[in-house]
Amino acid sequence: MLCLASLALGSRAMPLSDVVDGLRGTGDPAVAAVIDSRWPRTVVGLFAGAALGMSGVLAQTATRNPLGDPGLLGATAGAAAAIVTATAFLGLGSAVWVAVPGALAALGLVMLMGGGRSGLVPMRVILAGAVVTALLGAYVQGVTLTHPRTFDSYRFWAIGSLNNGLPTLGPVLVATLGAALAGALVRPLNALALGDDVAASLGARPGRTRLLALTATALLAAAATAAAGPILFLGLAAPHVARALVGRDHGLLLPAAALLGPALLLLGDIAGRVVARPEEVQVGVLTALFGGVALLVLVRRGAVAA
């Protein structure tokens, strides 16, 4: 239903019957033209929302932190730093595709800094993510302030948007690999959620599971960031909403987050096109608003716990 609403609502609203006729190829050519301009952003919303929802689940389980989020682990900052570097120093224009290696490199650095003798240490990972995010954020601010042209192109991407065109093959393959890895980790993640000692007694390997889970987080977050920019808060809110609905079994939790992520993202995109007609509010702003309200309601009800 949200997909149809995404096609029907915007600066010009259309009846759902006209949208259905347009999809069938039997409607007004003008309506078909509007649909053709809107369906790519709907696809981007589905793709990026699913990736962010799953990556949030993985980040929270791997770090054993209810505030775990791909953005807090350096992925968003790494993508932004890569784009700013490519634009300012390499002359690549709006090279959004570099967001994938940038996000992966940043999360790789976080995992390297967060390691200990027994493998990744959740608290160290969180602190390393905060340090890397702060350093890369300062770098991005410094470059954009000294390169006005870079700032002009970067500021539209930085707030998050579904209007960047269909995802290219690179982000799709990266997200597919991350989703496949997440699916293979369902049982180890369930054990890890009980604590490292319990997980080890059940035959799981906590260090290996945490490393693979954060790797899948990096892949999914990098793909989503490359497709839609830094959509903040969605990776934090969607897992908690999903957990309140289906419980903590990752066999249900990951698919639920993969559905709720796109729902929140498309809802924010639709609202952004409606509330300021004929102008548009970027989806990153509305997603933070809706995600924050949903998370606040869960906190008040006691449904958010570590």
- Answer yes or no: is 306 within a domain: no
Instruction: Report the pLDDT value the prediction gives residue 114, as an integer from 0 to 100.
Output: 81
Q: How far is the C-alpha of 281 from the C-alpha of 120, rounded, in Å?
A: 40
Q: How far is the C-alpha of 246 from the C-alpha of 269, rounded, in Å?
A: 25
Instruction: Report the pLDDT value the prediction gives residue 88, as an integer from 0 to 100.
Output: 85
CATH of the domain at 289: 1.10.3470.10
Global pTM reads 0.87
What tokens were used for 6?
């995404």
185 close to 213: Cβ distance less than 8 angstroms: yes
Query: Within 10 A of 184 (CB to CB), how many other CB atoms are there?
Result: 12
Query: Within 10 A of 85 (CB to CB), how many other CB atoms are there?
Result: 18
Q: How far is the C-alpha of 91 from the C-alpha of 275, rounded, in Å?
A: 37
b/e 275-290 (16+ beta carbons within 10 angstroms → b): eeeeebbbbbebbbeb
Sign of the CA dihedral with 8 first, then 45, 228, and 303 last: positive
Q: Which domain holds residue 154?
A: 2-300
- Which residues on neighbouring strands pair with residue 119, listed in sequence order? 116
- Specify the DSSP element, H or E, that contains 120: strand 119-120
Q: How far is the C-alpha of 155 from the C-alpha of 157, rounded, in Å?
A: 5
Structural domain tally of the chain?
Answer: 1
Mean pLDDT by 10 residues, the chain (306 residues): 76 72 70 77 91 93 83 84 86 71 88 75 85 92 87 75 78 91 94 84 84 89 85 85 91 95 88 77 77 71 59
> Could you tell me which of 231, 242, 241, 240 has the C-alpha nearest to residue 288?
231
- Answer yes or no: is 6 within a domain: yes
- Answer yes or no: is 293 within a domain: yes
Q: Which alpha helices (DSSP H) does 159-233 contain, by range? A: 169-184, 186-192, 196-201, 206-228
- Answer yes or no: is 291 within a domain: yes
Q: How far is the C-alpha of 46 from the C-alpha of 229, rounded, in Å?
A: 14
Instruction: Report the pLDDT value the prediction gives residue 41, as an integer from 0 to 100.
Output: 86
What tokens were used for 300?
């008040």
Instruction: Report the pLDDT value the prediction gives residue 252, as an integer from 0 to 100.
Output: 95
- Answer yes or no: is 305 within a domain: no
Instruction: Report the pLDDT value the prediction gives residue 190, as an integer from 0 to 100.
Output: 93
Instruction: Report the pLDDT value the prediction gives residue 95, as an integer from 0 to 100.
Output: 62
Q: pLDDT digits over 123-174, tens only?
A: 888 889 889 999 999 999 999 888 888 887 777 777 777 877 777 777 888 8
Instruction: Report the pLDDT value the prediction gives residue 303, as an integer from 0 to 100.
Output: 56
Instruction: Report the pLDDT value the prediction gives residue 131, as an integer from 0 to 100.
Output: 93
